């Protein structure tokens, strides 16, 4: 028997050689001493939990699932996945009503958009914030993303016919944020795509990607939505041969990696055809002779912030390179670090301080820059940056759309 | 070097700090005797610390050795009560594989019941639900009250109790001579490995509890005990694969027991007779590793895809009753030799044979004999009086330690039972970790250094599990050496030497299985300590 080839561990956590670089890169461990850090919460803790499940420590809820530990790990240990799986498997804490509301972005968005002006005004009121804080444990210092009056999907319906005329097609996973809060970003995407001769379709049925459901402990619902999304994506990719793009780095990451790793929803047949809008555009530009018609004499100064999940995808490069194509752009690339909000995490009263402490050095760096916009691919990073700094924050697609000549 | 002539006199001198020696020390001191225990290295360095850590139900011996089986189940019940913090009540399964004779099961169950061991035949599907890691091909399963026992903690607790009752314990002191006056042993001459000094101690009775080394100790008195050193090798896996003890339902053979012990699982053992010259320098061979894996995978196929942490070997102190080269059909029965009767030499007793499971019974028999010789009329209490650490329930101790972080709290209570309370009043320094794999805190290390006779890092490992996790000392060894140095256990130069010898001791166990992630991790350890810290590991190895 050739022992050395025979006995090879297939337990991912056993590949850890305890170098501890993950804990060095963990944004939470640096500011919250109650969090044991990714090494201890992940591979070390897994070993103890295998001994006895009561080694599960509720402090694992402090993990923001940014996956920066996995990016740092030289041994390919899926540390973030180990921690999230442990939460799914062992946590005995039931999600609160608050968590239900924060997690169900689809439902809350559907209920809010018809009454957007009222909802937005109400959520900004001090007494309302005080009630949310006291009763719901949603921190009163947090500003809420504004709801749009009318969804992106309803706007798109009027465009569908025109979009179908383009020779090349792409399916757009717009996500809850574009649908309920920021339809202009979706419109910008359509504009940019059309400028390259690509028509935009929507999936047959799109549900929230489920990232907030996962982090708030609603696993069965997340699995249900994931299965529906993958079936719609499969219809587009496999049946119609149309690739799928997303503007949200977190949606793209969740569908590609969290579905198979955390939810057990297999996507291997379509995974390579789900990508970020900026990467799709960059690749299209490098393959085809397309001339983008940029406005002349515009000057713009921006700083790019790399969202954690985009760092994990390894795709920040495409967004940055795309921005560089804009004439007369002055681009600063900010240090890649977590802004602290981590989706719904930063909304929770108990996390507010951790959240703001994590982002502090990023905010300082932004304030020190002479810029018109911070640019990032993640909507929750945008909320955090706009709330915590004096600068507006936009998606690279919106910046690109602004720079393009309006076509009649 | 100086000769110490001051007469220090005891009722009993016990040679050997294994489970048996510690058990005799406890029993004697509880019966009011003046006790001195002498161990040439650290406590539980011999066979005590180099076995499965299996709390036998006796089922394994039921067919072949009913007497041992009965002793085991009796002691099993006692240890669950008196040493609850050293025992995990996992229960065990005796599995029949397709290649095993299923007829043996009936014979086995009958023998178990005759020996007083509960043995329930269960459906193989139920067995797989109870223990999902078991081989799914099994055709039969019997559930028995096996468990796991931590021999280091068990021995340490006996030592603590003995000391609480006035016993004196000397470690790193080696008996070099038995003092004889006519036909009587009256004392021992001892060489102190640390101070390099010789001391003489006198006692009415000297007990030889040296395990396989007892052969040499008896030789010092000119007595021959025909012992068979039988080497048994084991493999440690990186995490718990099984939560119940897994055995093969067949006549005892090689590598047919898989035990969940603390954070890991152990497969063993092999059995090879070795010459006496090798008992201090045992290396696990590639052939043994091969055999352990091959057989182990039959019990639990996922062992093939589990990282192996280390390999080690122990020596069974078997007393030859017949000429059997394998050492397996020799009874594991207890051998108590009164040399006054056997060899006409008064004041000298040898206790050997037996097994970890029966250490307490061996101690009881020995102490009964000592008391008879000394005309002391005191009854044995070790079967009913709980050991230090087992006197309060886990729930009670947990409540007292609520401020300690969860994983650390669970681990410390698991290791020290109610003694963990000593660590309940903790500063942030005390709750910071020395060993991250096994959750050993600064406070726990300090407690071990102050109260548990620790002289070096290897001793510390036996008391706390520092360095026993998957990193095998990578992160904890230097922290622990630093703590020992700052608590004046040794100077900086000694700290460096100790660090090197500790890491080399860890490597010794990794070398036989050094491939894959274990090798990668060891390369990293060597790089950190040699490349970054400038420690010389190779040189120390040659010494």
Check A17 against B305: CB less than 8 A apart: no
Please answer whether residues A325 and A282 qualify as being in contact, where contact means their C-beta atoms are separated by less than 8 angstroms: no
DSSP H or E run through B246 = strand B245-248
Q: B293 and A17 in contact by Cβ < 8 A? A: no
H-state helical runs in A158-209: 160-163, 175-176, 183-195
Considering only CA atoms, give the Rg of chain B.
23
Q: Is B290 in CB contact (< 8 Å) with chain A?
A: yes
Q: Does B21 touch chain A (CB under 8 A)?
A: no
Distance from CA of A217 to the nearest CA of B (A): 21
Task: Please report, for chain A, the start and end positions of each structural domain, with discontinuous segments joined by +.
Answer: 13-90, 300-403
pLDDT at B321: 64
Distance from CA of A26 to the nearest CA of B (A): 17
Place of tokens 């045992």: B282
The model's pLDDT over A148-163, given as tens digits with 9 standing for 90+, comes to: 988 999 999 999 999 9
pLDDT in tens, A364-395: 999 999 999 999 999 999 999 999 999 999 99
Tally of CB atoms within 10 A around B431: 17
Instruction: List, in order, residues 6 or more apart from A118 with CB less than 8 Å away.
Output: none
* CB-count exposure of residue A308 (10 Å: 0-12, 13-18, 19+): buried
Q: How many CA atoms lie within 13 A of A191 on its CB side?
A: 20
User: φ and ψ at A65, to 5 degrees?
Assistant: 55, 40
> Of the candidates A17, A40, A47, which has its C-beta nearest B239's C-beta?
A47
Both tokens of B543, joined, read 């010494």
Residue B423 contacts residue B452 (beta carbons within 8 Å): no
Asked if A242 contacts A236 with a C-beta cutoff of 8 angstroms, the reply is: yes
C-alpha dihedral sign at B38, B40, B42, B45:
negative
Predicted pLDDT of residue A407: 67
**Alpha-carbon distance B184 to nearest alpha carbon in chain A (angstroms):** 52
Q: What is the pLDDT of residue A93?
A: 85
Q: Would you call B406 and A7 a contact, using CB atoms and an 8 Å cutoff?
A: no
Q: Which residues of A touch B (CB under 8 A)?
A: 1, 3-4, 6-11, 14-20, 36, 39-40, 44-48, 50-52, 54-55, 57-59, 75
The span from the CA of B315 to the CA of B234, in Å, is 11
Selected residue of B394, B408, B436, B520 to mutate for chain A interface (largest A Cβ count, 10 A)? B436
Which of B311, B407, B467, B520 to substitute to test the interface with A, most A CBs within 10 Å? B407
Per-residue pLDDT tens digits for A111-137:
888 888 888 888 888 888 888 888 888
CB-CB neighbors (< 8 A) of B289 in chain A: 3
Tell me the pLDDT tens digit for each residue of A236-248: 999 999 999 999 9
Which CB contacts under 8 angstroms, 24+ apart, belong to B479-483?
Answer: B479/B434, B479/B435, B480/B434, B480/B435, B480/B445, B481/B457, B483/B434, B483/B442, B483/B445, B483/B446, B483/B449
The structure's pTM equals 0.93
Which of A138 and A371 is assigned the larger pLDDT? A371
Domains annotated for chain B, with CATH where assigned, are 3-47+152-226+332-374 (3.50.50.60), 88-148+228-319 (3.30.9.10), 427-542 (no CATH)
Test mutation, A7, A40, A42, chain B, max B CBs within 10 A: A7
Q: Which CATH number applies to A300-403?
A: 3.40.50
The tens digit of pLDDT for each residue in A255-284 reads: 999 999 999 999 999 999 999 999 999 999
Instruction: For residue A12, give Cα distances in angstroms to B25, B253, B525.
Output: 46, 33, 20
Chain A: give the shortest CA distance to residue B454, in Å.
Answer: 26
Q: Which residue of A has its CA nearest to B474?
A: A18
A-chain residues near B239 (CB < 8 A): 11, 14, 46-47, 50-51
* pLDDT, tens digit, 9 for 90 and up, residues A168-197: 999 999 999 999 999 999 999 999 999 999
**Nearest by CB: B520 against A3, A17, A52:** A17
Inter-chain contacts counted by CB atoms under 8 A, chains A and B? 101
Residues from chain B contacting residue A51 (CB–CB below 8 Å): 239-240, 260, 262-263
**CB burial readout B186-202, b (16+ within 10 A) else e:** bbbbbbeeeeeebbbbb
DSSP B114-149: HTT---EEE-HHHHHHH-TTS-TT-SEEEEE--EEE
**pLDDT, averaged across chain A:** 94
Query: Chain A closest CA to B362's CA: distance in Å?
Result: 32
Using the beta-carbon criterion (under 8 Å), do A47 and B262 form an inter-chain contact? Answer: no
Q: Do B470 and A47 touch (CB under 8 A)?
A: yes
Q: Are B409 and B401 in contact (CB under 8 A)?
A: yes
Short-list A388, A375, A384, CA closest to A344: A384
- The list of chain B residues with pLDDT below 50 reads 1-3, 5, 322-328, 540-543
Q: Can you tell me the mean pLDDT for A89-109?
A: 87
Q: How far is CA A320 from the centre of its chain?
A: 17
By the 10 Å C-beta count (0-12 exposed, 13-18 middle, 19+ buried), B526 is classed as: middle
- What is the 3 state secondary structure string of A107-172? HHHHHHHHHHHHHHHHHHCHHHHHHHHHHHCECCCCCCCCCCCCCHHHHHHCCHHHHCCCCEEEEE
CB proximity list for B484: less than 8 A, separation 6 or greater: B449, B454, B456, B457, B460, B490, B495, B498
Which chain A residues are Cβ-neighbours of B415 within 8 angstroms?
Answer: none
The CB density around residue B185, as the number of other CB atoms within 10 Å, is 25
Kindly report, residue by residue over A314-362, the tens digit of the pLDDT.
Answer: 999 999 999 999 999 999 999 999 999 999 999 999 999 999 999 999 9
Strand partners, B311: B235
pLDDT at B7: 59
Angstrom distance (rounded) from CA A45 to CA B437: 8
User: Which residues, 6 or more positions from A175, have their beta carbon under 8 angstroms from its beta carbon?
Assistant: A208, A209, A246, A247, A248, A251, A379
Q: Tell me the C-alpha distance between A347 and A137, whole Å.
A: 9
Q: Distance (Å, rounded) from C-alpha A60 to C-alpha A201?
A: 40
- Per-residue pLDDT, B477: 95
Of B289, B471, B521, the CB nearest to A3: B289
Interchain CB contact of B305 with A (< 8 Å): yes
What 3-state class would DSSP assign to A297?
coil
Q: Do B305 and A8 touch (CB under 8 A)?
A: yes
Q: At what angle do helices A183-195 and A277-287 cross, to 10 degrees?
A: 10
Q: Which residues of A touch B150 (CB under 8 A)?
A: none
Q: What gap in Å lies between CA B477 and CA B8, rounded to an integer?
A: 38
């Amino acid at each position: 028997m050739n022992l050395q080839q025979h006995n090879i561990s297939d337990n991912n956590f056993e590949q850890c050689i305890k170098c501890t670089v993950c804990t060095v890169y963990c944004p939470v461990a640096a500011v919250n001493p109650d969090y044991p850090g990714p090494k201890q919460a992940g591979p070390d803790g897994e070993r103890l939990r295998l001994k006895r499940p009561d080694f599960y420590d509720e402090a694992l809820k402090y993990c923001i699932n940014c996956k920066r530990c996995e990016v740092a790990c030289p041994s390919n240990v899926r540390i973030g996945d180990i921690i999230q799986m442990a939460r799914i498997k062992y946590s005995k804490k039931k999600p609160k009503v608050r968590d239900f509301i924060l997690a169900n972005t689809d439902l809350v968005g559907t209920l809010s958009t018809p009454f957007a002006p009222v909802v937005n005004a109400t959520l900004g009121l001090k007494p309302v914030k005080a009630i949310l804080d006291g009763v719901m444990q949603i921190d009163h210092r947090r500003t809420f993303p504004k709801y749009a009056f009318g969804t992106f999907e309803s706007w798109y319906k009027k465009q569908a016919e025109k979009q179908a005329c383009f020779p090349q097609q792409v399916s757009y996973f717009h996500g809850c944020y574009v649908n309920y809060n920021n339809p202009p970003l979706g419109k910008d995407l359509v504009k940019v795509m059309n400028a390259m001769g690509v028509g935009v379709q929507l999936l047959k049925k799109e549900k929230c990607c489920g990232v907030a459901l996962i982090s708030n402990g609603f696993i069965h619902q997340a699995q249900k939505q994931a299965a529906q999304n993958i079936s719609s994506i499969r219809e587009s990719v496999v049946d119609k041969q149309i690739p799928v793009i997303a503007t949200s780095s977190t949606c793209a990451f969740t569908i590609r990696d969290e579905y198979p790793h955390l939810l057990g929803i297999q996507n291997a047949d379509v995974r390579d055809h789900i990508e970020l809008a900026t990467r799709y555009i960059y690749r299209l530009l490098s393959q085809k002779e397309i001339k983008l018609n940029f406005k002349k004499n515009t000057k713009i100064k921006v700083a790019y912030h790399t969202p954690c999940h985009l760092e994990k995808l390894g795709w920040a490069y495409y967004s940055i390179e795309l921005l560089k194509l804009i004439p007369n752009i002055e681009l600063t690339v900010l240090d890649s670090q977590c802004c602290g909000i981590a989706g719904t995490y930063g909304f929770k009263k108990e996390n507010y301080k951790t959240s703001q402490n994590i982002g502090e050095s990023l905010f300082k760096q932004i304030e020190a820059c002479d810029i018109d916009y911070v640019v990032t691919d993640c909507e929750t990073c945008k909320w955090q940056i706009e709330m915590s700094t004096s600068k507006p924050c936009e998606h690279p697609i919106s910046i690109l759309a602004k720079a393009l000549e309006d076509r009649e | 070097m100086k000769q110490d002539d001051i007469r220090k006199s005891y009722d009993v001198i016990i040679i050997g700090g294994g489970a048996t020696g510690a058990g005799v020390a406890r029993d004697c001191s509880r019966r009011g005797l003046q006790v001195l225990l002498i161990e040439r290295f650290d406590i539980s360095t011999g066979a005590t610390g180099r076995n499965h850590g299996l709390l036998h139900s006796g089922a394994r011996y039921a067919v072949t050795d009913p007497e041992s089986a009965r002793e085991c189940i009796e002691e099993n019940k006692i240890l669950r009560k008196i040493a609850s913090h050293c025992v995990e009540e996992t229960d065990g399964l005796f599995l029949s594989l397709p290649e095993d004779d299923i007829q043996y099961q009936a014979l086995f169950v009958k023998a178990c019941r005759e020996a007083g061991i509960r043995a329930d035949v269960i459906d193989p599907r139920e067995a797989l639900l109870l223990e999902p890691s078991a081989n799914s091909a099994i055709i039969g399963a019997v559930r028995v009250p096996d468990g796991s026992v931590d021999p280091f903690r068990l021995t340490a607790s006996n030592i603590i109790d003995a000391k609480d009752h006035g016993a004196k314990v000397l470690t790193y002191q080696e008996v070099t001579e038995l003092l004889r006056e006519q036909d009587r042993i009256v004392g021992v001459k001892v060489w102190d490995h640390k101070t390099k000094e010789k001391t003489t101690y006198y006692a009415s009775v000297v007990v030889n509890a040296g395990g396989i080394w007892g052969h040499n100790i008896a030789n010092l008195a000119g007595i021959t005990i025909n012992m068979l050193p039988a080497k048994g090798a084991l493999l440690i896996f990186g995490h718990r694969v099984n939560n119940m003890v897994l055995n093969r339902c067949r006549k005892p053979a090689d590598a047919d027991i898989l035990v969940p012990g603390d954070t890991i699982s152990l497969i063993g053992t092999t059995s090879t007779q070795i010459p006496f010259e090798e008992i201090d320098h045992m290396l696990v061979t590639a052939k043994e590793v091969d055999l352990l894996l091959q057989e182990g995978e039959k019990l639990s196929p996922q062992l093939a895809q589990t990282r192996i942490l280390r390999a080690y070997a122990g020596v069974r102190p078997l007393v030859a009753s017949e000429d059997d080269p394998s050492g397996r059909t020799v009874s594991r029965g207890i051998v108590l030799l009164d040399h006054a009767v056997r060899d006409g030499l008064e004041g000298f007793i040898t206790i050997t044979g037996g097994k970890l499971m029966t250490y307490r019974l061996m101690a009881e028999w020995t102490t009964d004999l000592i008391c008879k010789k000394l005309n002391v009329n005191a009854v044995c209490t070790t079967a009913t009086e709980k050991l230090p650490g087992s006197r309060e329930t886990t729930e009670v101790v947990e409540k007292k330690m609520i401020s300690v972080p969860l994983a650390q709290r669970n681990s410390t209570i698991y290791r020290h039972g109610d003694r963990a309370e000593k660590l309940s009043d903790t500063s942030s320094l005390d709750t910071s970790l020395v060993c991250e794999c096994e959750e050993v805190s600064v406070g726990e290390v300090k407690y071990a250094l102050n109260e548990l006779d620790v002289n070096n890092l290897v001793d510390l490992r036996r008391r706390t599990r520092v360095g026993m996790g998957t990193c095998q000392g990578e992160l904890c060894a230097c922290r622990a050496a630093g703590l020992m140095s700052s608590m004046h256990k040794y100077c900086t130069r000694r700290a460096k030497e100790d660090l090197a010898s500790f890491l080399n001791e860890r490597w010794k166990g990794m070398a036989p299985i050094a491939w894959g992630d274990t090798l990668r991790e060891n390369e990293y350890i060597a790089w950190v300590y040699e490349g970054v810290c400038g420690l010389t590991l190779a040189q120390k190895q040659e010494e």
